[in-house]
Amino acid sequence: MEKPENISLLQRFIRWREDTIKEKHFILILSFLVGISTAFAALFLKFFIHKIQHLLTENFHFNEANYLYLVYPVVGIFLAGWFVRNIVKDDISHGVTRILYSISRRQGRIKRHNTWSSVIASSITIGFGGSVGAEAPIVLTGSAIGSNLGSLFKMEHRTLMLLVGCGAAGAIAGIFKAPIAGLVFTLEVLMLDLTMSSLLPLLISSVTAATVSYVTTGTEAMFKFHLDQAFELERIPYVILLGIFCGLVSLYFTRAMSSVEGLFGKLTNPYKKLALGGLMLSILIFIFPPLYGEGYETIELLLNGKGAADWDVVMNNSLFYGYGHLLLIYLLLIIVFKVFASSATNGGGGCGGIFAPTLYLGCIAGFVFSNFSNKFELSAYLPENNFALMGMAGVMSAVMHAPLTGVFLIAELTGGYDLFLPLMIVSVSSYLTIIVFEPHSIYSMRLAKKGQLITHHKDKAVLTLMKMENVVETDFVTVNPEMDLGELVKAIAASHRNVFPVVDKVTSELVGVVLLDDIRNIMFRQELYHRFKVQKLMTSAPAKIYDTDHMEQVMRTFDDTKAWNLPVVDSQGRYKGFVSKSKIFNSYRQVLVHFSED
């Protein structure tokens, strides 16, 4: 037994907590701490980004091209890439995808360095002009804070997964001042199944993080938006058309980003990635300066501009300065090239997410849609500011496959609650458009291809949580091809199974199976014991399960073969054991009961 003096202070606290504080109450305390921590992490990240941007660009001339745009982004992704390779020594890109993976495969465990590494890498990347957002890195940071805080106090994996969600909710609420959007994002994008007891910690984290942001930065919405023209029901058809347009823009963004990331993925040398990414990014930002950084200044201009004089400011610092009549073409080109700038940033070694790019693209898409219609008088007047706001909800809803998140986030970001109905219409229209072509969001498609994605369907979620090593049975008696029938009968006598794997003595490779039913008619005829070899009596297995297969694939194999037992082998074909339907069903029921408990 451990002596009291050898017990650490943390262990003493954990024992005291277990004796005095109920677990459900302690979870509420942890969710409160997660909310505070993620809010301050978000504030630090925003501060670092804006400080770096201000120092680098404060002396730029708005009426001419600035050649430092060719330098800053390359320096940024070089520094971020060096930091990740040499200090972090781990992949920290695709923040939300990594959270989904941790829920799916690591039972809510996220590495400790993720509590700080994404903040540093993304602030360098975006501050120097990387065309990505800070939100996905802060969501990963918040989730890592929740996961590691739970691990510190030895919480079980279901609680860790809940705290991961609390961290994500707090991060969104803190960086956007959007507590409802933080909660809805976690429900819609991350979590698999929630009960009322799970909602309260998420609410506490969201409200706490938003309150910290209100206290430190004021209560104004992130983007100031003034509704100059109320929404009219006659515009509903145009709002639906805007949703379809946003859905198509989102489809282009998703497919193009996947393709460009695939191109960078083929490069193994980090300096080749830097050269390609840096070249793409610096040229695009030099030609289109609004691609520099998150792009929130452009969003402010389009949401609050009153006419051409205000909107033309978008072309400041560029070769297009003074050519106001080319504004629509300029913005259309930005829609086309934004995805290349974002992909080049991350592919070249930088760190950032797609929250800001989707808001940015949506705002421009909504503005282009309405301004084009007004310029060519294709319909009654469509207020550009309102449609730019609705476009933000449309593209975000489609890219993330999260229409509720799009609605609530944009409403809270801008204070545009008077446009709630059109926000809902455009979000649903956009989402319905993209799911015709893409069944998974940009976050989940990578995991879905590998079968590692937890879904909102509880049955699939439980299958994903089940581990292959927990259902493999190893108590089958093995035989080898050279054994005769007499030796096989002795093996049968020592076994309580009716299936016998045939394994090569030298390579341990599975070469077949012997079924008791197939030899029942000869197994008691002793005159045949030395005449027949196992090699002649064995048959091929209906299918083989690989020890790396995910459980959904295993169940599909059982359905295809109609078998009740299937052998498990490794990648070299070496025998590992058997998996049976009955074992899977028993394990499934246990996980389902455990998973569903409040």
Q: Please determine whether the domains at 4-217 and 233-450 fall in the same fold group of CATH.
A: yes
Residue 2 confidence (pLDDT): 43
Question: Where does 4-217 sit in CATH, by number?
Answer: 1.10.3080.10
Specify which residues 575 forms β-bridges with.
Answer: 569
Nearest Cα to 317, choosing from 293, 339, 340?
293
Tell me what pLDDT residue 455 has: 47
The pTM of this model reads: 0.76
- Residues with Cβ within 8 Å of 184's Cβ and at least 6 positions away in sequence, in order, are 402, 404, 405, 408, 409
Q: Hey, what's the torsion of the CAs at 95, 100, 104, 110, to 10 degrees? A: 40
Contact 348, 77 (CB under 8 A): yes
Intervals of the chain under pLDDT 70: 1-7, 62-65, 94, 103-108, 191-196, 446-467, 587-598
- What was the pLDDT predicted at 396? 95
Tell me, what's the pLDDT at 559?
A: 83
> Could you state, in order of their start, the residue ranges of all structural domains in the chain?
4-217, 233-450, 461-596
Q: Could you tell me if 224 and 48 are in contact, meaning their C-beta atoms sit under 8 angstroms apart?
A: no
The per-residue pLDDT for range 475-500, each reduced to its tens digit, is: 889 999 999 989 989 988 888 888 89
pLDDT of residue 598: 42
CATH of domain 461-596: 3.10.580.10
What is the C-alpha end-to-end distance of the chain, expressed in Å?
A: 34
Q: Given this model, what pLDDT does residue 59 score? A: 79
pLDDT, position 454: 52
Q: Give 233-450's CATH code, choosing from 3.10.129.10, 3.90.76.10, 1.10.3080.10, 1.10.287.610.
A: 1.10.3080.10
Quick one: how far is CA 488 from the chain centroid?
Answer: 52
